[in-house]
Structure 1
Amino acid sequence: MQFNVNHSAFDAIDTDALVIFLFDDEDAASLTALSGTHTALFNSLKDQNLLASKVGQVTPLIGHADLPASQVLLIGAGSRAKLSENNFIKVIKATLKALKQAKVSSASLALDDLIPAKRSVAWSVEKATELMLTGLYQYDTTKSKKADSNKLERLDYLVAEQNLDTAIRTGRALAHGMNVARELGNLPANICNPDYLVEQANNLADAYDEISVEVLGQKEMEALGMGSFLAVTQGSANPPYVIVMKYNGGKSDEKPHVLVGKGLTFDAGGISIKPAAGMEDMKYDMLGAASVFGTLNTLAELKPALNVIGVICAAENMCSGTATRPGDVVTSMSGKTIEVINTDAEGRLVLCDALTYVDRFEPASVVDIATLTGAVIVGLGHHPTAVYANNEELQQQLVSAGQASWDRGWPMPLWEEYNEELESPFADLRNIGAGRAAGSITAAAFLSEFTRDYNWAHLDIAGTGWTTAKEGATGRPVGMLTRYLLDRLS
């Protein structure tokens, strides 16, 4: 879809649909301008109480030959004084829904009237572009009937500000990356397995010269001593991989930022098998990996002067006669031994070896992303991503990036007292805490044992990577990760 900035007056625009926003506490400038030239029409609408300002409500004006467009859509936006980022998002989503129903090929949005407090026009243009393109995504890969093609081909933002090309470009690249992550997450595990993730990494490298790929198979992993990672995969017929994707946009001597994604393409829980109800949703256990793919896709489009390495832990956790048993002791790549108390706490077992492996890159920072614990949903729900870190500055940078991109995170504690929950009489540590309390924190504390030599953060996205099967994967936290990395540009 084509996005443009248009500075023309209403009587000079060429569009199928004009979108104007209605507030309940004041008239927006665009509404004032339009009603001033169509006084009788708007007085009639007001007299009949047909102008709906509730957030997301739509009042369509169709069949009035003297209006600036064949269709004028009045979209309710609530209180202008209290216009928040959340209401902005709701209004843009309602706008897209109305435009899709109107089946128009072009539209113009009076976006200057819809700028949330403390946000800029550039932020609003970037976020609107992202929302429009993510809103057009529909999963149909495994359906016999494909989704109807999008009729909306051009969207013009009616704003006074100049030089918004970067905002449009960033919003577009973010949406593309988020949709990549969503598609990978929504695919079933019989298609999106570890081999498929290798294929997608190679496809990304083929598409962009800045990206190169290296794949470690089981033999290489055995040679490296990744006993913790391999303990998770030994019950599956699908082989495991460590996929290393390098985005080389910075100077050759510039230290890279590393993203490590949990890529359990299906998690049955192993011998500690999950309940049958809802187990089909365990295809989403690779959303950490999906977000790394999405972020690298976004960077490849934007081409910032950074070096970024994406490391994917691609595996399956299945039940079989060869599966790891509760009580087994395995040796990680770091040399630390781990007592496996629960085989369904497998994400930390693959991640700990990957986190040891990435030390060789002498990273500027390492962020791992994982649908790691159900406990984080109990604590935080589905709104913020949990942000843990062994470096307070890094934690705040990620939280700030989430606030800027409105892909928000919440800082979580990693006090040394939590590590006491991981003590084992039979190994250096156990893979779950001694009790049910603070399950997300003790999982992060486990990972922290393998990240002593660099600045590291852990994002638990079990509550934000997806919410319901009907809605599917969200594409989060591609926005937070991208903003964090772009903020590292010197």
Structure 2
Amino acid sequence: MEFSTQTTASLHQIKTAALAVGVFADGMLSPAADIIDHASNGALREVLKSEFLAKAGTHLALRRLTGVVAARIILIGLGKQDSYNAATHANAEFVFANYCVQAHLSEGVSTLAAIECPNSTMRSRAQAAAVAAGRATYYYDATFGKREHNAAPKLKKIILSVARNQAGQAQQGLSSGGAIAAGMNLARELGNLPGNICTPTYLGQAAKKLAKEFKSLKAEVLERKQIEALKMGSFLSVARGSYEAPAFIILRHSPASAKTAGKTRKAPIVLVGKGITFDAGGISIKPAGNMDEMKYDMCGAASVLGALRAVAEIGLDREIIGLIPSCENLPSGRANKPGDVVTSMSGQTIEILNTDAEGRLVLCDALTYAERFKPAAVIDIATLTGACIVALGHVNSGLFSKDDALAESLLRAGRDTNDTAWRLPLEDAYQEQLHSNFADIANIGGPPAGSVTAACFLSRFTKSYPWAHLDIAGTAWRSGKEKGATGRPVPLLVQYLLDQA
């Protein structure tokens, strides 16, 4: 995907297949729309009187307007002007990019980022435009035998029309947004692949492929014997139920500046992603309905790979380390049984009361492994609990942390990228629910506050560093007719990392 800026004030003379201009529901035209209206002898205002209500998320294509060179003027509804915000803008950019895809266009020009709105900058709006275009052009065809001819999106170029003094900011935003979009689409592709293709071994190969593509990345994939040597008994107990080999993936982004002699290095930030490539629940087997969606149980891992891809493309001046414990969770004669006790890498013993609470069993050993990097912060990302979907639905990811500064930084990054999270409690009083008569800790705390007690479990392995947990069970993929991975929370993670760098 190619992104660029254009600074001409003569919008009616721009030669393009589609030119997007914003209009508000109260009949107000954006400055760009006003220019086109005057050039076309009031054609836009005439349409607004009767044909187009300009509700947010809507559009109307006007072809071959008199006095306008563009083949199409795409009116983008922005809703009421007094409630226009960054989220509305981001959605408007997606509406335009999606129109270009559906109309089989190869390029388009958007004036939407030039419209000021609260709590945003030209850079952030340009970034949102690039992310929107990336979302609109994602196309899955990896496992189809045949697809319709010309089904793949043709959209290859988006141009932002901005003021000359804002072109530099816009280009910076397009650059970071393009990288975020590419990271999101990598995460979506990995998530959408079926479990018989996207195995732990496949995830390891994906990490190595990224390391070949970007010089700042280095990948290492630990196999079973190496994992055993690390005494990751909790992680390996989950892997034992499957014939697929487990993998512990380490992907490091080390910018050139980090290698400069005499330069004071900042402590790295570590991202830990749950990589259960298929989750049948183990002996505590899941119901058959919608079990196919458990291929998405590795979306935490996918988001880590996507985020590392983005920071490598951006050239982030901060060391970032991704850790991915990956395996399958299946029922078999070798699988964990309810009542089993296993020993984690930290030495803490765990009574497994439910084998379908396996994500925390693989993550806890990765969180212990993270200690060796003396990190500035560790963030784990996991499709961890159905309880989080009950609490927050499919709008916000769940955020848990005892570190207020870290939590606020992540929340702000989510707001800035429209990839929002909501902070849930992590109080010591909930820890009592994890009491076991036979081990240091039980792996579940019963039905009440299920997402909270899952986070409480993980917190016992994070005493050595600032830590936050993102439960993305409700946001990592969509069900139903639009079934597919979303690429969240790659935008949140990358924005957080950009802010820290």
Q: Same fold (TM over 0.5)?
A: yes
- 1:245-279: CA deviation from partner (whole Å, max 9, x where unpaired): 11101524432111110000000100000001111
Aligned to 1:251: 258
Aligned to 2:108: 107
Q: Give the Å deviation of 1:214.
A: 1.6
Moved more, 409-418 or 10-19: 10-19
CA separation of 1:326 and 1:17: change in aligned 2, threshold 3 A? same
CA separation of 1:314 and 1:54: change in aligned 2, threshold 3 A? same
Amino acid at match of 2:39: T
Identity rate, percent? 44
- 1:281-331: CA deviation from partner (whole Å, max 9, x where unpaired): 100000000000000000110011111110011100011111110001111
User: Secondary structure of 1:108's partner?
Assistant: strand
Work out whether 1:182 is the aligned partner of 2:183.
Answer: no
Aligned to 2:153: 150
Moved more, 353-362 or 86-95: 86-95
User: Is the 8 Å Cα contact of residues 21 and 113 (structure 1) preserved in structure 2?
Assistant: no
Moved more, 19-28 or 316-325: 19-28
Work out whether 1:159 is the aligned partner of 2:162.
Answer: yes
Aligned to 1:209: 215
Q: TM-score, normalized by length of structure 2?
A: 0.94
User: Is the 8 Å Cα contact of residues 390 and 448 (structure 1) preserved in structure 2?
Assistant: no
Written as runs of structure 1 = structure 2, the 5 A alignment for 1:225-236 is 225-236=231-242
Aligned to 1:301: 313
Work out whether 1:465 is the aligned partner of 2:476.
Answer: yes
User: Secondary structure of 2:83's partner?
Assistant: coil
User: Is the 8 Å Cα contact of residues 17 and 70 (structure 2) preserved in structure 1?
Assistant: yes
Aligned to 1:283: 295
Distance across 1 between alignment mates of 2:486 and 2:495: 17
Work out whether 1:429 is the aligned partner of 2:446.
Answer: no
CA separation of 1:357 and 1:44: change in aligned 2, threshold 3 A? closer
CA separation of 1:119 and 1:241: change in aligned 2, threshold 3 A? same
Amino acid at match of 2:36: L
Distance across 1 between alignment mates of 2:69 and 2:113: 18
Q: Give the Å deviation of 1:42.
A: 4.5
- 1:129-166: CA deviation from partner (whole Å, max 9, x where unpaired): 11011111011111123462333333221111221221
Work out whether 1:453 is the aligned partner of 2:464.
Answer: yes
Written as runs of structure 1 = structure 2, the 5 A alignment for 1:45-444 is 45=47, 49-64=50-65, 66-112=67-113, 114-146=115-147, 148-160=151-163, 161-163=166-168, 164-249=170-255, 250-252=257-259, 253-433=265-445, 435-444=446-455
Distance across 2 between alignment mates of 1:264 and 1:312: 10
User: Secondary structure of 1:264's partner?
Assistant: strand
CA separation of 1:269 and 1:119: change in aligned 2, threshold 3 A? same
User: Secondary structure of 1:382's partner?
Assistant: coil
Distance across 2 between alignment mates of 1:256 and 1:143: 40
Distance across 1 between alignment mates of 2:233 and 2:94: 47
Unaligned runs of 5+ in 1: none
Distance across 2 between alignment mates of 1:289 and 1:107: 34
Moved more, 100-109 or 437-446: 100-109
Distance across 1 between alignment mates of 2:270 and 2:229: 22
Amino acid at match of 2:244: N
Distance across 2 between alignment mates of 1:60 and 1:204: 40
User: Secondary structure of 1:39's partner?
Assistant: coil
Moved more, 197-206 or 390-399: 390-399
Distance across 1 between alignment mates of 2:483 and 2:330: 26
User: Is the 8 Å Cα contact of residues 40 and 66 (structure 2) preserved in structure 1?
Assistant: no
Unaligned runs of 5+ in 2: 260-264
Q: TM-score, normalized by length of structure 1?
A: 0.96
CA separation of 1:236 and 1:42: change in aligned 2, threshold 3 A? closer
